[in-house]
Amino acid sequence: TTYLDTQNQRESNARSYPRRIPIAIDKAEGIYVTDVEGNTYYDCLAGAGTLALGHNHPVVIEAIEEIVHNKRPLHTLDITTPMKEEFVSEIFDSLPEEFAKRAKIQFCGPTGSDAIEAALKLVKTATGRGGMLSFQGGYHGMTNGALSMMGNIGPKQQVPNLMPDVQFMPYPYSYRCPFGLGGDLGSKVSSTYIERAITNPEGGIVKPAGMVMEMVQGEGGAVPAPIEWVQEMRRITKEQDIPLILDEVQTGIGRTGKMFAFEHAGITPDVLVLSKAIGGTLPLSVVIHDEKLDKWGPGAHSGTFRGNQMAIAAGTATIRYVKENNLEEHAENMGAQLMNRLKQTQAETSSIGDVRGRGLMIGVEVVNMQQEADTLGSYPEHPDLAKQIQKECFNRGLILELGGRFGSVIRFLPPLIITEEQVNEISNIFHEAVR
Ligand code: PMP
Q: Is the distance from the beta carbon of residue 190 to the nearest atom of ligand 1 less than 6 Å? A: no
Give pLDDT, residue 59: 98
C-alpha 350, offset from chain centre: 29
Atom number, ligand 1, closest to the C-alpha of residue 138 = 3
Residues 177 and 192 in one domain: yes
Of 324, 351, 386, which one is at a domain's C-terminal end?
324
CATH of the domain at 12: 3.90.1150.10
Q: Is the distance from the beta carbon of residue 24 to the nearest atom of ligand 1 less than 6 Å? A: no
Of 295, 324, 353, which one is at a domain's C-terminal end?
324
For residue 11, name the pLDDT band (cuts at 50, 70, 90). confident
Give pLDDT, residue 1: 56
> Which residues face 356 on adjacent strands?
363
> Is residue 383 a contact partner of residue 407, using CB atoms and an 8 Å limit?
yes
Question: In which domain, by residue range, is 335 found?
Answer: 2-56+326-434
Residues 402 and 362 in one domain: yes
> Is residue 363 a contact partner of residue 411, using CB atoms and an 8 Å limit?
yes
Question: 107-126, pLDDT tens digit by residue?
Answer: 999 999 999 999 999 999 99
Ligand 1 center–CA 139 separation, angstroms = 7
Atom number, ligand 1, closest to the C-alpha of residue 283 = 15
- N-to-C CA span, the chain: 30
Quick one: which of 325, 273, 228 has its CA closest to 117? 273
Question: 151-207, pLDDT tens digit by residue?
Answer: 998 889 999 999 999 999 999 999 998 888 888 999 999 999 999 999 998 989 999
Q: Is the distance from the beta carbon of residue 138 to the nearest atom of ligand 1 less than 6 Å? A: no
Give pLDDT, residue 180: 85
Q: Is the distance from the beta carbon of residue 220 to the nearest atom of ligand 1 less than 6 Å? A: no
Greater model confidence, 209 or 19 = 209
Residues 314 and 332 in one domain: no
Question: 262-309, pLDDT tens digit by residue?
Answer: 999 999 999 999 999 999 999 999 999 999 999 999 999 999 999 999
> Is residue 411 a contact partner of residue 401, using CB atoms and an 8 Å limit?
yes
Q: Is the distance from the beta carbon of residue 251 to the nearest atom of ligand 1 less than 6 Å? A: no
Residues 86 and 16 in one domain: no
Atom number, ligand 1, closest to the C-alpha of residue 219 = 5
Residue whose CA is at the smallest distance from ligand 1 atom 10 = 140
Q: What is the DSSP letter of 419?
A: -
CATH of the domain at 86: 3.40.640.10
Sequence-ordered list of residues with C-beta below 8 angstroms from that of 138, at least 6 positions apart, any chain:
149, 150, 151, 152, 168, 171, 212, 213, 214, 217, 220, 247
Q: Is the distance from the beta carbon of residue 274 to the nearest atom of ligand 1 less than 6 Å? A: no
Helix (H) or strand (E) holding 53: none
Ligand 1 center–CA 275 separation, angstroms = 8
Residue type present at position 401? E
Ligand 1 center–CA 66 separation, angstroms = 29
pTM of the model: 0.97
Q: Is the distance from the beta carbon of residue 357 to the nearest atom of ligand 1 less than 6 Å? A: no
Ligand 1 center–CA 208 separation, angstroms = 22
Question: 384-427, pLDDT tens digit by residue?
Answer: 999 999 999 999 999 999 999 899 999 999 999 999 999 999 99
Which runs of E-coded beta strand occur in 2-119?
25-29, 32-35, 40-43, 103-107
Half-sphere CA count of 400, side-chain side, radius 13 A: 31
Q: Is the distance from the beta carbon of residue 139 to the nearest atom of ligand 1 less than 6 Å? A: yes
